[in-house]
């Protein structure tokens, strides 16, 4: 009885991995272009010294000098966020883009004939899934 299972070739695996990485890149670009409300700063969690700087000029925009002083206060209290916290916040706010484009890529998987559908689905959705998992795990008390 002949086997109906097709063998998985290395070019097909590489193609699926690169397609998954391309979907991740596309998801990142689309998430930055959509309106997600931005990153919210939780000033209530700031130390009192940083909040007093924030309230020096109520009702007016914060100056660059005030931001520098606030950043200095937050870094002395280990509250300074690095860019990865802000990127993770952006990914958390646009989770639907990463999820939706991964689903769209899974619908496109029929073009990868040599791969079994489950294996191709894992290879295609793993980059977006890992990005979402990392974003929800990489939080900061001052940013949401």
Q: What is the pLDDT of residue 42?
A: 80
Instruction: Provide the domain count of the chain.
Output: 1
Among residues 71, 41, 40, 39, which one has the least CA distance to residue 53?
71
Question: The domain containing residue 108 runs over which residues?
Answer: 10-40+82-137
d(CA 103, CA 105): 5
Helix (H/G/I), strand (E/B), else coil: 41 = strand
User: Is 59 domain-assigned?
Assistant: no
For the segment 107-141, what is each residue's pLDDT rounded down to a tens digit? 877 666 666 677 878 888 899 999 999 989 988 77
Q: Model pTM greater than 0.85?
A: no
User: Is 31 domain-assigned?
Assistant: yes
Residues in the chain, total: 144
Question: Does residue 36 carry a pLDDT above 80?
Answer: no
For the segment 58-105, what is each residue's pLDDT rounded down to a tens digit? 888 889 999 899 888 888 877 666 778 778 888 888 889 999 999 888
User: Is 96 domain-assigned?
Assistant: yes
User: Is 118 domain-assigned?
Assistant: yes
User: Is 112 domain-assigned?
Assistant: yes
Tell me the pLDDT of the chain averaged across its residues: 82
d(CA 131, CA 90): 11
User: Is 98 domain-assigned?
Assistant: yes
Question: Does residue 48 carry a pLDDT above 70?
Answer: yes
Q: Quote the Cα angle for 25-144-139, to 5°.
A: 70
User: Is 51 domain-assigned?
Assistant: no
Beta strands in the chain (DSSP E): none
User: Is 75 domain-assigned?
Assistant: no
31 vs 114, more confident: 31
């Amino acid at each position: 009885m002949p086997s109906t299972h097709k063998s998985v070739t290395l070019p097909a695996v590489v193609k699926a991995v690169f397609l998954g990485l391309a979907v991740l890149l596309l998801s990142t670009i689309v998430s930055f272009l959509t309106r997600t409300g931005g990153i919210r700063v939780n000033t209530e969690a700031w130390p009192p010294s940083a909040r007093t700087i924030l309230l020096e000029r109520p009702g007016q925009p914060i100056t660059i000098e005030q931001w520098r002083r606030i950043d200095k206060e937050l870094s002395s209290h280990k509250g300074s966020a690095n860019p990865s916290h802000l990127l993770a916040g952006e990914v958390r706010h646009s989770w639907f883009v990463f999820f939706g484009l991964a689903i769209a890529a899974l619908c496109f998987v029929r073009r990868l004939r040599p791969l079994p559908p489950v294996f191709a689905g894992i290879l295609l959705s793993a980059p977006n899934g890992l990005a979402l998992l990392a974003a929800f795990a990489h939080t900061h008390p001052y940013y949401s």
